[in-house]
Amino acid sequence: MKPGRITEAIAVGVMSPLRKLFLEWVMALRHLRDTASIRSKLLTLIFSITPADRAAVLIDNILLSRERDGAAPAVAVDREVMDRVLKDGSPILTHERGRPRLCIPLDAFDSRVGVIYAEASDSGEPLDNTHLHLLTGVAAVAALAFEHASFIEQLQAQNSRLK
C-alpha cells in the first residue's frame, strides 16, 4: 500500500482496528527522538492491544513500569523471567504461580537492548499466544526506534560536551 493510500485506508475504515492502531503507533514513532517518549508510547500500545494490567519496559538497565489505569507504581516484575529472556533471547509466555505474564526481547541489529514485560490478573482475560505474537512484532519495531533514539541522545550529549 502506497503512503498516500495508508491515510486513505485509515480514513475509510478499510483496516481492522488492530492494524490501524499498530500503523498509527509506527507512524508516531517517526517523530519520537528520545528513549523516554518511546518507552511511554510503547507502554500505551501494550495496554491497547493486550489485556495486561501491568507492563514494564527495560532498556539500558532502566525499568519503566505502569499499571493499566496510568499509575506508575513499583510494579513487581518477575526478574527471573526477564533475566531469562535477556540471556536467551526467546520470548516467554507463562502462567506459573497463577500469574499470566509474558516477556519479549527487544533486539536491534546484533544486540539485545532490553525487554517488554506484561502481566495480567488471574480474574481477567488471560495473555495468550496472540498477544505474544503481536508484541513480538511490536518489539522488533520498538527495538530499532530505541537504538536510533539512543544514538541521537549519545550524539547530543557528545555535542554538548564539545561546546
List Cα–Cα distances, 29 to 67, 111, 129, 142, in angstroms: 22, 20, 25, 8
pLDDT at 57 over 90: yes
Instruction: For domain 33-162, say whether CATH 3.30.450.40 is its number.
Output: yes
pLDDT at 97 (0 to 100): 77
pTM for the predicted model, two decimal places? 0.82
Give the pLDDT mean for 126-149: 91
Instruction: Show me where the domains of the chain are located.
Output: 1-31, 33-162
What is the residue-wise DSSP string for 98-155?
Answer: G--EEEEEEEETTEEEEEEEEE--SSSPPP-HHHHHHHHHHHHHHHHHHHHHHHHHHH
> Band of the pLDDT at 25, cuts 50, 70, 90?
confident
